[in-house]
Structure 1
Amino acid sequence: MTATVPAGGDPVLPGGPVDPVSATAPALPGRPWIEQAWRDVVFVHWRVDVSAVAPLLPAGTRPDTMGPDGSDDGVTTWVGLIAFSFEDTRFPPLGPLGRTGGLGDFLEVNVRVYTRDDTGRRGVVFLSLDAGKLLPAAAARVVTGTPYHWARAGRRQDGDRTAYAVHRHGTHLRSRLEVEVGEPIAEPTPLESFLTARWGMHVGRAGRTAWWPNEHDAWVLHRATLRGLRDDLVRAAGLPAALTELEPDSVLYSPGVLTRFAGPRA
């Protein structure tokens, strides 16, 4: 099922050739600005019509599209609810912040959508990010302009099951998801690469949009089964209220990667 909402205009904008979908990162332009380990990553995705996403995007970007069969149908885009653990955050050449009281180690649940810009770069736009520590959330919001929120966060792991829960401070907004991890994927499908191998983020700020490129090793992915979900964050981000009541179209898990970000580019 594809959820739709009215759009204020045509979301398909003119642009040049689009970068290919690739499970392998392009070389990072410039020196890494920050390094982070993303561990025990859960990807839950629903497909939606581009009209559900286009009004939420920053200037100069539009929904990136791919149908369930891996072809670019021009009308299907995706909403992701992503949960994971940040570990060993560092700002080269400094050591990991985790050595100073665990400052760089925290849990996060984010809502993200998929974008391309007028130069053809593919990326993600984060509609919300709920992090389990105040200082990293506040610093990331100020430095990058991403919509971080401070939340109470927890994780439970029991055999093949992994569960995350967040409750945004000062609000009623919560998210709790649990997955059962299955067998590893020998070769990701084009869609699975499209949903996970994103080599930058688009961030709108003061009417301008910056591109923050990143790189990491290819994901080691497992298929997974959603065993429980209660979520307010997708609706609060401006997406269709009934979306998380539907069965997701894709559920994946990865033990994680070490990620490096370069500084922003126009």
Structure 2
Amino acid sequence: MRRVLFRQRWRDLVFLHWPADPFEVARLLPAGTVPDLHQGRAYVGLVFFRMDDLAFGRAPALPYLGSFGEVNVRLYSRDATGRRGVVFRSLDCDRLLPVLAARGAFGLPYRWSRIHSQWFDSRLLYRTGGRQGARAAARVWLDVADEPVAATPLEEFLTQRWGLHERFLGRTYYLPNAHPAWSFRRCTLLGWQDELVAAAGLSRPQGEPVSVLYAPGLPVVFGPPVPLPAHATRPG
């Protein structure tokens, strides 16, 4: 990436995915994008992780403010140029300043929440909830093995994303990113609870996730946002 807007490191990622109604997904995407389908099906993801070493450009990482927990609800999009992206329906974060910065600079739906993560030997627990109990909550509990595991074609489709789509100030843009190839470890889902997907405007997930992934983490860089052509983002 020729120009780096900001950098970060994602750590201890947990991906849960369920099938979603493509018509329901379509009405939630920004103008100029359509649902990206895998074998005719749309998906919604619930992703838990820790973010570390947030930095702008080539500057050193921010102390304290650059490390926090995040839980997001995401959909999968494609624009007229064929770029495949992620659309965030909600992003819960336990650090207030990054929430304000991301909302103000990019229009991303961040909100300040309580997020807790903890390892118990090989078991990892994440849980989140709104401050003062006012928002929806989510929890995941899984056992992680040291054994590497290969992603299925569906999981490659869901995780090999090199940018996000968002609409801000009347225009849809694409924010590109770059990172090394994912490495996943075998894991067993021990339990989960979710209220975030329904709170994000989608039907409540039915049954167990069709995909559960754990990734130890990787460094990520983001480039400047690229506006979609005005004619491609015009409503209707």
User: Given the two structures, how large is their TM-score scaled by the length of structure 2?
Assistant: 0.91
Specify the SS of the correspondent of 1:137. Answer: helix
Is residue 133 of structure 1 aligned with residue 105 of structure 2? no
1:187-228 per-residue CA deviation (whole Å, 9 max, x = no partner) reads 432222111111000011233210000000001112322211
1:145 matched residue in structure 2: 107
Q: How does 1:176-195 map to 2 (within 5 A)?
A: 176-182=139-145, 183-185=147-149, 187-195=150-158
Q: What amino acid does structure 1 have at the position aligned with 2:95?
A: K
Structure 1, unmatched stretches of 5+, are 1-27, 67-72
Match of 1:57 in 2: 29
Contact 2:4 2:58 in 1 (8 A): no
Question: Residue 239 in 1 paired to residue 202 in 2?
Answer: yes
The answer to whether the 8 Å contact 1:61/1:116 transfers is: yes
1:263 and 2:224 are equivalent in the alignment: yes
Separation of aligned partners in 2, 1:109 and 1:161: 18
More divergent stretch after superposition (127-136 vs 157-166):
157-166
Please state how far the C-alpha of 1:162 moved relative to its aligned partner. 1.0
Off by >4 Å, runs of 4+ in structure 1: none
SS in structure 1 of the partner of residue 182 of structure 2: coil
1:214–1:262 CA contact under 8 A, matched in 2: yes
By how many angstroms is 1:181 displaced?
1.8
User: Which structure has greater strand proportion?
Assistant: 2
Write the deviation string for residues 127-184 of structure 1: whole angstroms up to 9, x where unpaired: 0000011111111111111100000111011122111111122523111111222431
Offset, 1:92: 2.3
Say if 1:34 and 1:260, in contact at 8 Å, map to a contact too: yes
* 5+ long unaligned stretches in structure 2: 228-236
CA distance in structure 1 between the partners assigned to 2:212 and 2:12 by the alignment? 13
Show CA shifts across 1:22-77 (max 9, x none).
Answer: xxxxxx3x3111000000000000112312211100001011111xxxxxx3x301
Q: How do 1:88-167 residues align onto structure 2 when only pairs under 5 Å count?
A: 88-98=53-63, 102-167=64-129
Q: 1:103 to 1:262 in 2, by over 3 A?
A: same
CA contact (8 A) 2:179 2:218 kept: yes
| Correspondent of 1:40 among 4, 9, 12 | 12
Match of 1:84 among 31, 49, 60: 49
Indicate the percent of aligned positions where both proteins have the same amino acid: 47
Aligned residue for 1:200?
163
1:76-121 CA distances to partner (integer Å, 9 max, x unpaired)?
A: 01110000000011112210102xxx11000000000111001100
The number of aligned residues is 225
CA distance in 2, matches of 1:222, 1:137: 30
Give the letter for the 1:157 counterpart.
W
